[in-house]
Amino acid sequence: MTDRARSNAAVEVFEQAASSYDRTGVSFFGPFGAELVRCAGIRPGDRVLDVGCGRGAVLFPAADATGPTGRVTGIDLAPAMVSFTAEDLRRAGLTHVDVRVDDAQQPDFPPGSFDAILAGLVVFLLPEPQQALRTYARLLRPAGRLAVSTFAAQDPAFVAAMDALAAHLPADQPRPAPAADPFADERTITATMAVADLAVITIRDYQVESKFRDVGHWMEWMWSHGGRALLRHIVPERRDAAIADAARALEPARVPDGGLALTTAIRITVATPRAGAPAS
C-alpha cells in the first residue's frame, strides 16, 4: 500500500467513526487537546488553524483561548467530522470559529496567515508529514507557533490487547510494516522540524489515565477512533474470540471497582519558523 492509499484509508476510518468519535464517555482526546492548546500559548485575538480537527478536542479549547477577538479555523478531510463539528459549534454559539473540509497535507491558505497552527494526533496519519510541516512553517507569521502532538507511550495492557486482536486478522490482511518514524523520539522530532524550517521551542510528554466500565465499553471506544482500522478487518465469525483474547490481555488494567484503567502518554512539540526561512 502506498503512503497516499494508507492515508485515504485512515480518513475513511475516521469518516465512519465520526458520529461516536470522542463521544463514548472516555477521557482521552479531550484532556490531550486541552493540553496541546495550553502548550501552544495561544493569546486572545490570535488567528489559529487546527489541522485534522476531528470533533473539536483541540478546536474548542483553542476557541476559548483566542476569545471572540481571535479566529479559529478547523480543517479535516472527513466530511462527517466537519459536519458534526459545525453543528456542535452552531449549538455552542461560537461565531469566531469555522470548520471546513481541507487536506492537512497541504492546507489551502495564503502564507503568513496564522499566529498558531495546532495538529492534535494527526501528523503521523499524513502521507508526507515532513512536507506538511514545511507548509505549516510557511503559513505561520514570524514568531508564530506550531504545536504538534504524537503518541509517546501506550499502556502495556493496551499493546497486549491490540496484539491479541491483530492475531485474529485474516492471513491475507497486510500487517502494518515497520517504517521510519519521523516522530520516534526527541532527537528525531527535532531533526524532522529542522528539515521543515522549524526550530523546536519545547518537547514534553503528557499522560492521561482513561477509565472504562468494562471490556464492552473499551470495545465501543475502540470502534470510535483509529482502532476501527484494525477491528473492521476481523471477520464477524472471529469477533467473539478476538474480544475474549483482548479481555484476557486487558486483565492487568483491572481496577478495584471492576472497570479498566489505561494510561497513555502523548508528546507535545512546540516549534516556530526558523528565522530567515522563506515565507512563501
Task: Please report, as ranges, the residues that interact with ligand SAM according to CB under 6 A.
Answer: 7, 10-11, 14, 22, 29, 33, 52-54, 57-58, 75-78, 81, 103-105, 120-122, 125-126, 226
Residue whose CB is less far from ligand SAM, 120 or 182: 120
* Size of the chain, expressed as the number of residues it contains: 280
Q: Rounded to the nearest whole angstrom, what is the least distance from the CB of residue 209 to ligand SAM in the complex? A: 17
- CA-CA-CA-CA torsion sign (201, 203, 204, 209): positive
Please answer whether residues 206 and 214 qualify as being in contact, where contact means their C-beta atoms are separated by less than 8 angstroms: no
CB of 189 vs ligand SAM, minimal distance in Å: 18
- Which single residue brings its beta carbon nearest to ligand SAM? 54
Shortest spacing between CB 142 and ligand SAM, in angstroms:
26
- Kindly tell me which of 158 and 168 has the beta carbon lying closer to ligand SAM: 158
CA angle 15, 181, 152 (to 5 degrees): 80
Minimum Å gap between C-beta 81 and ligand SAM is: 4
Whose Cβ is closer to ligand SAM: residue 10's or residue 243's? 10
Q: Alpha-carbon distance 180 to 41, whole Å?
A: 30
Q: What are phi and psi of 185, to 5 degrees?
A: -155, 180
Instruction: State which residue, 16 or 214, has the beta carbon closest to ligand SAM.
Output: 16
Of 105 and 192, CB closest to ligand SAM? 105
- Buried b / exposed e across 125-141, counting CB within 10 Å, b at 16+? bbbebeebbbbbbbbbb
Q: Which is nearer to ligand SAM, 229 or 247 (CB)?
A: 229
Nearer of residues 144 and 227 to ligand SAM, judged by Cβ: 227
| Least distance CB 19 / ligand SAM (angstroms) | 12
Q: From the CB of 34, what's the least distance to ligand SAM, in Å?
A: 10
Picking from 74, 81, 103, the residue whose alpha carbon sits closest to that of residue 16 is 81
CA distances from 132 to 117, 119, 221 (A): 12, 11, 29
Q: How far is the CB of 251 from ligand SAM (least distance, A)?
A: 27
Rounded CA separation 122/129 (Å) = 9
Which spans in the chain are helix H? 3-17, 29-40, 59-66, 79-92, 129-139, 156-166, 186-195, 215-223, 228-231, 236-250
